[in-house]
Amino acid sequence: MSTATPGTFTPQPGAAPLVQQVRAQAAMETKLLLRNGEQLLIALVIPVLALVGGVVGAERLGLTFDDRVVDVLTPGVLALGVLSTSFTSLAIATGFERRYGLIKRLGASPLPRFGLLLGKVVALFGVMALQAVVISAVGFALGWHPHGGVIGAIVALSGAFLGTLAFASLGLFMAGTLRAEATLAAANLIYLLLMMGGGVVLPHTSYGGGAGVLRLLPSGALGDVMRSGLADGQCDALGMFVLMVWAIAGSLLAGRFFKWE
């Protein structure tokens, strides 16, 4: 029996290259995130309201920090954007994708499972880039003056990258082990708790005796890294280390316990 020479038939059947598959998956994930009103509320509306409300409220109440209020809150709200998208939005969306059997069907496609997760992470970075632009624009309108320079920007981007890995892995761990309704409730509850008392928007020093514990949470570590980078141009080594530990631990948990159906 003769074998056809490659390229004889057009189109030639077969899976697309992995990079092209991941790119297509990331594009689809990004569209789904941006078209979902609830996800946009968590990703953009709440962080912007937290920034504007925090700056106006602090000025009216006479609250002071070591730096200007807007210079303290804007990096914290940028960190909140990372939390909202890479943890809350991802966990909820993935939880319901498991419930409806979407992930199970994608798992049977030529796209490998790690490619599916990689596509989700790439989509997160795209949405967070949009978040950063919107939140920064609002911060500048309120009088924000970052003093970190190029070094501070590199530190902030590195912290956001580690924070995304940490929160995304924890979100996938939650979505891959709990029912969709439980994931919805738990993700929203954790988001609210961390936003109000997790050291992400306000410095951990604002919480009195709980400051030491907050430094060890991924939310508090990310907030500290963003503030030290954008406000002072310095790298919070402890915060970076904490984020790295959480990213490794979350990845191990997600890889071990994530159920595809």
Q: What is the pTM of this model?
A: 0.86
Arithmetic mean of pLDDT, 120-142 = 89
12 pLDDT band, cuts 50/70/90, is: low
224 pLDDT band, cuts 50/70/90, is: very high
Task: Say which residues have a Cβ less than 8 Å from residue 15's Cβ, sequence separation at least 6.
Answer: 21, 110
Q: Domain limits of the chain?
A: 18-257
**Residue 114 pLDDT exceeds 90:** no
15 pLDDT band, cuts 50/70/90, is: low
**Spatial separation of the C-alpha atoms in residues 178 and 11, rounded to whole Å:** 42
Burial 207-234 (b: 16+ CB within 10 A, else e): beeeeeebbebbbbbbbbbbbbbbbbbe
Q: How many CB atoms sit inside 10 A of residue 197's CB?
A: 17
Q: What is the pLDDT of residue 21?
A: 75
**CA nearest neighbour of 118 among 106, 105, 130, 108:** 106
8 pLDDT band, cuts 50/70/90, is: low
Which residue has tokens 């991802």? 90
pLDDT in tens, 74-89: 999 999 999 999 999 8
Arithmetic mean of pLDDT, 228-235 = 91
Burial 173-189 (b: 16+ CB within 10 A, else e): bbbbbbebeebbebbee
Q: Which value, in Å, is the radius of gyration of the alpha carbons in the chain?
A: 20
Q: Which helix (H) or strand (E) holds 143?
A: none
CA distances to 83, 84, 94, 176, 209 from 258, rounded to whole Å, are 20, 21, 11, 4, 36
Arithmetic mean of pLDDT, 191-202 = 90
230 pLDDT band, cuts 50/70/90, is: very high
pLDDT > 70 fraction of the chain, expressed in percent and rounded? 89
Task: Say which residues have a Cβ less than 8 Å from residue 101's Cβ, sequence separation at least 6.
Answer: 261
